[in-house]
Amino acid sequence: MSFARFKLGVQHFINRPWVGLTLLLSLPLWFVFGLSLKPPVMVQAVSSALSDSFYQWNPRSAPDKVVFIEVENSSVQAYGRWPWPRSLIAQGLAGLNQADVIGLDMVFSEPTHANEDTALANTLADLPAIGGVFLNGPKAQLLSGAAYDQILNSALMHTAGAQLIGSEQIELSIPALREATPILAALNILADADQRFRHYPLAFWLKEAALPNLGVQMWRYAYQQDLIINRQQAQLGDQTIPIDALSRSRLNFYVKGDFERIAFADLMQPDWNPSKLANKWVIFGVSEAGISDLRATPLGQYPGPLMHLTFVANLLDTSLLTELKGIQLFFLLFILAGLLGLILQFKNAWLRLGLYVLLANGVYALGLGLYLYANLWLEIFFPLLLLISSLIIGELWLFIRHKAEADYLRSAFASYVAPQLVEQIVKQGQDLKLGGDRKNISLLFSDLRNFTPTTEKLATEELVSHLNAYFGLMIEQIQQFNGTLDKLMGDGIMAIFNAPLDDEDHAYHACRAAIAMQYALEDFNRRFAQGDIRRLKMGIGINSGEGIVGNIGAKLRFNYTAMGDVVNIASRLESATKEANARWQEAIMQGETKPCAEVDILLGEQTYLAVKDRLPCYPVGKLALKGKSDTLAAWVLDWRAVKSDLKQRD
């Protein structure tokens, strides 16, 4: 297709504004809707976090019927560290004998003294208590027949087509305590993509059994109503429970601290009156921070038992949330796209901007209103993403209508350069052109040693955060000594000294920057215990000499960098630090006296000659550097022999 025909096609498209606008706005509409059907993990995390603020507006109070009996700080102070003797637990639980149903959010998987276990078993046998299991531990197929029979007796009866999270592992209480409770329940809750807990699994597959979670089991026991789950929804008595694809229900969190909470120590007081719990639903669990498994929620850290209690409370006051998705969400997005199309008809840009802001606030208000008044949950990320993407596309479409497309595209892409480079060039009065100049420079290369295990064991988000913190410290030390960051390469750093800013003492300042980097890394590592995979080790190579520095690349894309043998040697010196240090340590172990403990910084000959009278440097011998036919002499810089106070440059 010739350029003239393309231009004619564009003009034909522009001259039909409604056709063009409809086609353009349909792109983000279908993209956002498709994204909502199967959102990637990062999108799930962002979308959930964006709507979390709705919970802060929740006016509801938790029903009085639910009570949390907790092993908290005052109880631990009174009776010592958990776990306690089971006779003590039995004595406290005996005070719950008037409760309607008791959910035990704990597993007694190890036997203790026989009389202790018997005391607790006898107490549990007299209580309307539901035992707990964790879906971990020994393989499920290793369960004894009696244990699996109890699992089957506790399982759901109507699960045709149910999509449940499956588990092949289970941890049970010892037989005497397990058999003292009429039924068992799962205690597991799974986090969302951002490791926050918002959803409550109704049940889990365990072999052929669908074992309900604790909150469901408490309802079944109290009301003698079974949970019916199919592929689309769940039914508990007369109440329909909205579920997602894994049969999880979104929790409706109450204001933190809104539950009635009674310390275990209160049960042991002489004036304790069991009638306080008459007709109550009780969950017994641990909330002491040093013992409990705290869960991150939109309202902060919750002890695990409160997650079950929240679900039970939602059941009792019918406040579980229905998530708007599928065709319902598409209908909402379609209306929003239509409103955006109307806004784009206004010629005044400031008016359009005001209407965009108003529409964005309207999306949030709609989500909040649906939550407060209809128990409907709208992930406002998707309408806002449609708004932003449609805004960009629509405004660009308007720009194209009033400006020449070809000129705009050339100005937008042909003039692209890194902002920091432009600023530096402007300050020095240089022209933005290809080419370089020969100049005596010093190059610093650093790289992390044995970093692969860290990358394998850290989650992606944590790894990126960890590297960002590390790079921030290293770049600060480089810039403190007149260095210019050239590039970041994976976990490596390349810096130039004496370019583009002139620095007569560049070799010395490169060495001082390397020393500062090592001390900064040492401070960075103090945050982590010995053996922690987040502790980092770094090797640095420095070389000085003549190289070519300038704008290297092509006309449409180039970078300010350095080239030449001086650069290659500096990089090879950094790579050689690991092997040189290994030989150095081997020599020390064999009894040889070395002037310093480790080889962390290697210097080339020109760098060594420039700093030898001011910094402690020692020869490591000739090194065979990759890509070099001849061996090259190198020196180790003993950075630990130099003062660590490097906040001010010499």
pLDDT tens per residue, range 187-204:
999 888 888 999 999 999
Q: Is the pLDDT of residue 543 over 80?
A: yes
pLDDT tens readout for residues 330-347: 999 999 988 888 888 887
How wide is the angle at C-alpha 245 spanned by C-alphas 240 and 246, nearest 5°?
A: 90
What is the structure's pLDDT at 513? 95
Look at residue 25 and tell me whether its pLDDT is greater than 70: yes
DSSP-derived letter for residue 164 is: -
Q: Is the pLDDT of residue 233 over 90?
A: no
Instruction: Assess whether pLDDT exceeds 90 at residue 79.
Output: yes
The reported pLDDT for the residue numbered 87 is 94
From the list 168, 172, 198, 200, the residue with the least C-alpha distance to 185 is 172
Please tell me the least confidently modeled range out of 37-46, 118-127, 274-283, 633-642. Answer: 37-46
Given pLDDT bands bounded at 50, 70 and 90, which one contains residue 391?
confident
Whose tokens are 């039909």? That residue is 16
For the cut 50, the answer to whether the pLDDT of residue 426 exceeds it is no
Coil, helix or strand at residue 90: helix
Closest CA to 314 of 245, 377, 381: 377
Looking at the predicted structure, is the pLDDT value of residue 415 above 50? Answer: no
Residue 139 has pLDDT above 80, yes or no: no
47-61, 70-84, 155-169, 424-438: range with lowest mean pLDDT: 424-438
Amino acid 171: pLDDT: 86
Question: What average pLDDT does the chain have?
Answer: 85
Report the pLDDT value the prediction gives residue 650, as an integer from 0 to 100. Answer: 44
Which residue would you say has higher pLDDT here, 183 or 430? 183
Domain spans, the chain: 24-55+323-409, 61-318, 432-641
Q: Report, as an integer, the average pLDDT of 252-262.
A: 85
Q: Where residue 571 falls among pLDDT bands split at 50, 70, 90?
A: very high
Q: Is 157 a residue whose pLDDT tops 60?
A: yes
- Residue matched to tokens 């040492």: 522
Residue 412 tokens read as: 């937008």
The pTM for the full model equals 0.58
CATH class of residue range 432-641: alpha beta
Name the residue with higher pLDDT: 471 or 428: 471
Q: Is the pLDDT of residue 437 over 90?
A: no
According to DSSP, the residues that pair with 241 across neighbouring strands are 234
Residue bearing the bigger pLDDT, 559 or 484 = 484
What is the DSSP annotation of 522-554?
HHHHTTS-TT-TT---EEEEEEEEEEEEEEEEE
User: What count of Cα atoms within 13 Å lies in the side-chain half-sphere of residue 65?
Assistant: 16
Residue 68, pLDDT score: 95
Q: What is the pLDDT of residue 496?
A: 92
Question: What average pLDDT score do residues 469-485 get?
Answer: 89
Which has the closest alpha carbon to 148: 172, 180, 165? 172
If you average pLDDT over each of 122-131, 135-144, 253-262, which comes out highest? Answer: 122-131
- Residue 267: phi and psi, rounded to 5, are -65, -25
pLDDT score at 19? 60
